[in-house]
A and B are shown apart, each in its own frame.
Chain A
Amino acid sequence: MISKLFDSVAAAVADIQDGATVMIGGFGTAGMPSELIDGLIGNGARDLVVVNNNAGNGETGLAALLKAGRVRKIICSFPRQADSQVFDALYRAGKIELELVPQGNLACRIEAAGAGLGAIFTPTGYGTALAEGKETRRIAGRDYVLELPIRADVALIKCHIADRWGNLTYRKTARNFGPIMARAAATTIVQADHVVALGQIDPEVIVTPGIFVKRVVEVARADRLPLAA
């Protein structure tokens, strides 16, 4: 019997290595797999490259991982926010490297990795500082920038409902980067609000098929919502 279920967050993230590239889902705190991130802090891996849309909010989740000094470099689109004080301080102190990527390029570079593409030509960023030094090409009268896929060793994502084969559904705008990151990492680790029996998720509504998922751990937050009847 195949089961991707893990009993604990600590076990699910135990083998993440120093120097790993780790995708972390979420847009702000919506969809952020905070408990998996706490597990990664507990695991002790350092020198990490993190891929996320932002660079942490407040003092918890991704911000806590940054504060613990575990992240060498962050690849993101929008680091500076009202509550990004942890990143701001590290960046100003020269203690973290930033690769700033337009959000849509971040998304399609992640998609390209998951889809097995060698590169993409995107119009976004053409003629701007974020495309400096990159190959460009005019195709059918429009200018494009060559961008390379972003792959990861590990993706940490949050979903709403999972089963033991790793089929996933998401909830509202917590979906964001989850489905595309799940495809772009060698090992995708999911924290689920709920784990249900095989067949309990309507196959028509599965967003991430289990082939993209290696590990699932149920995290029953105190404020988690009950399953809809």
Chain B
Amino acid sequence: MTQDIQRMSRDQLAARVARDIPEGAYVNLGIGAPTQVANYLPPDREIFLQSENGLLGMGPAPAKGQEDPELINAGKQPVSLLPGGSYFHHGDSFAMMRGGHLDICVLGAFQVAVNGDLANWHTGAADAIPAVGGAMDLAIGAKQVFVMMDLLTKSGESKLVERCSYPLTGVSCVDRIYSDLAVIDIDANGPRVIEMVPGLDIETLRAMTGVDLKFTGVQA
């Protein structure tokens, strides 16, 4: 009965996150992997993408030759504005982010703790140059905080941990983890696995993470 674990690729994971973003949602996609979620939002669903540098109604990258150096996203890549989109200054932008006006933000993570603490801005290494950007505002400001990450590090350690060893971005702020192996909700009772990839079983996942996991609607 055993089969190989069908780990999700980055693109599959982005598509999985996109499935859960409903019509009408105001959404900020963090820089890096979360940006790819935009590629999988169905064109017939109206979703408002916000970018911290002052635009709402962000559209895809323009055609080659149509780039405008004054129209970029948070990752400083050229983007476009959809009809109905708007520009605004940083005070307004962070009022949207901090003030609870965004329905969903999607962030990457180094670690997430079982209580929802998030670490994603700094490894704490002595020679690392720290940079935080808007991550701390999104982490505590969006109505729902989704994390998109590999569940394990390259060396096989769980990124879902009892307590973050990296410096925190926000306290008890993560609502759901979309990982390459499982989708895990986090609430006051801790992490609860709601989906696993084919080939993965509960005991294997427990052994991989080493934290207390609950399961809902997942086959053993």
Contacts and interface: CB of A to CB of B under 8 A. Distances in A.
Interface of A: 27-31, 53, 77-81, 87-88, 91-92, 98, 100-108, 110-111, 122-130, 143, 170-180, 207
Per DSSP, chain B at the interface is loop
Contact of A128 (B51, B76, B81, B170): B170
B45 interface: no
Contacts of A126: 140, 170-171
Closest 10 CB pairs of A and B: A104-B137, A104-B94, A127-B171, A102-B136, A80-B131, A174-B70, A28-B76, A78-B133, A107-B90, A179-B89
B68 A207 contact: no
A184 to B, nearest CB: 11
A110 B133 CA distance: 15
B93 A124 contact: no
B69 A128 contact: no
B170 A179 contact: no
10 contacts: A53-B90, A80-B129, A103-B90, A103-B94, A104-B134, A107-B94, A111-B91, A172-B68, A176-B54, A180-B89
Given A80-B129, A130-B136, A178-B89, A28 B72 contact: yes
A61 to B, nearest CB: 12
Interface residues of B, number: 39
B94 A100 contact: no
A124 B141 contact: yes
A126 to B, nearest CB: 6
Nearest to B89: A179
Contacts of B170: 126-128
B70 A31 contact: yes
Interface of B: 51-55, 68-72, 76, 81, 87-91, 93-94, 97-98, 122, 127, 129-137, 140-141, 167-171
Contacts of B122: 129
A103 B131 contact: no
Contacts of B54: 27, 173, 175-176
Contact of B167 (A98, A111, A128): A128
B89 A177 contact: yes
Contacts of A129: 122, 167-168
Contact of B136 (A28, A81, A104, A179): A104
Contact of B70 (A105, A128, A143, A172): A172
Contact of B130 (A29, A100, A124): A100
A171 B72 CA distance: 12
A108 B93 CA distance: 11
Contacts of A122: 98
Given A27-B90, A102-B133, A176-B89, 12 more contacts: A30-B69, A30-B70, A77-B131, A80-B129, A103-B133, A104-B134, A105-B137, A107-B94, A123-B98, A126-B170, A128-B168, A172-B70
A172 B87 contact: yes
